[in-house]
Structure 1
Amino acid sequence: MSIDFAGFTPGGSLTGGLVIGAAAAVLVLFNGRIAGISGILGGLLGQQRADAGWRIAFLAGLVSASALASWFGRPLAADIQAGWSEILIAGFLVGLGTRYASGCTSGHGVCGISRGSIRSLVATATFMASGFLTVFVIRHLLGA
């Protein structure tokens, strides 16, 4: 096993984590809402659209942040070694898991655990274990 030290960015990762935590705290303190992306998007697509303004603003900020970061010289590029069929299947499975878990990693991992939610702790542990198992199977058992 080798570590990609060129991609090792503890300063940027720490800063990103602090910004995500601050955004979650601001949203819950000033709006009383949890910063779970699936819940924010689901509420926007659902029947009740009375609170669409803050949802649209949050999602617009989420999408525009990467463009803004690239504009300031930090291009955000991912080397995805999968075809469209794999990406679509993975996206479907993530969406299915999100529905079964009543939330996604951002809601459970960042917001739920910080509130002391046992359900969020179990969900986040399950997300992580599933990810570890998937990488292990693909890299070591399937030889990809």
Structure 2
Amino acid sequence: MPLDWMWGLVGGLMIGTAAAVFLLMNGRIMGASGLLGGVVDGSRKGAARSEAVLFLAGLIGVPFVWHMLRGAAETHLTSNVAVLIAAGLCVGFGTRLANGCTSGHGVCGISRLSIRGIVATVLYLAAGGLTVLVFRHMLGLI
């Protein structure tokens, strides 16, 4: 039996732990898109900005270090760069539209029993499933 599911479990535990620590230490939700948005638009100042930059550096840096030590993970992504760019732009637009991302709404919102977080997460999952149905199974692009 393949043990690939264990990587998802480990990753989920790491994200959940990071979210809990961030909330306990700062009293704020760990939403990656909110942290990035605050750094980009300049609304995070002083220590909050430094904290957000360090968090985002870890979010990007740890997978990079993992890749250097263990090699690339098998993702089954498309090699079509245009599709990857379009997907990234759609995700970015969606996080702004929903006022948060899956780490903010899904991990932190659901764990706090936030109706807004639960609804946003259900809509994220439905949109993802519909996207795979259309772009992989109907159009064959991914």
TM-score after normalising by structure 2: 0.86
Task: Note if 1:140 corresponds to 2:100.
Answer: no
Deviation at residue 140 of structure 1 after TM alignment: 3.1
Q: Which runs of 4+ in 1 moved over 4 A?
A: none
Deviation at residue 74 of structure 1 after TM alignment: 5.6
Aligned to 1:88: 85
Instruction: Name the structure where helix makes up a greater proportion of residues.
Output: 2
Give the whole-Å Cα distance in 1 for the aligned partners of 2:140 and 2:65. Answer: 38
Give the whole-Å Cα distance in 1 for the aligned partners of 2:120 and 2:112. Answer: 14
Aligned to 2:20: 25
Checking the alignment, whether the CA contact within 8 Å between 2:31 and 2:104 is kept in structure 1 is yes
Task: Note if 1:47 corresponds to 2:42.
Answer: yes
Checking the alignment, whether the CA contact within 8 Å between 1:66 and 1:76 is kept in structure 2 is no
Give the whole-Å Cα distance in 1 for the aligned partners of 2:26 and 2:37. Answer: 17
Q: Which amino acid aligns with 1:38?
A: S
Q: Which amino acid aligns with 2:104?
A: G
Q: Which of 89, 104, 115 is residue 107 of structure 1 equivalent to?
A: 104
Aligned to 2:8: 13
Q: Which of 104, 119, 122 is residue 116 of structure 2 equivalent to?
A: 119
Q: Which amino acid aligns with 1:39?
A: G
Checking the alignment, whether the CA contact within 8 Å between 2:22 and 2:28 is kept in structure 1 is yes
**Unaligned 5+ residue runs, structure 1?**
none
Checking the alignment, whether the CA contact within 8 Å between 1:38 and 1:98 is kept in structure 2 is yes
Give the 3-state SS of the residue equivalent to 2:64 in structure 1: helix
**What percentage of residue pairs aligned between the two structures are identical?**
45
Length, aligned pairs only: 139
Checking the alignment, whether the CA contact within 8 Å between 2:29 and 2:104 is kept in structure 1 is yes
Question: Could you say what the CA RMSD is over the residues aligned between the two structures, in angstroms?
Answer: 2.0
Deviation at residue 82 of structure 1 after TM alignment: 4.3
Aligned to 2:58: 61
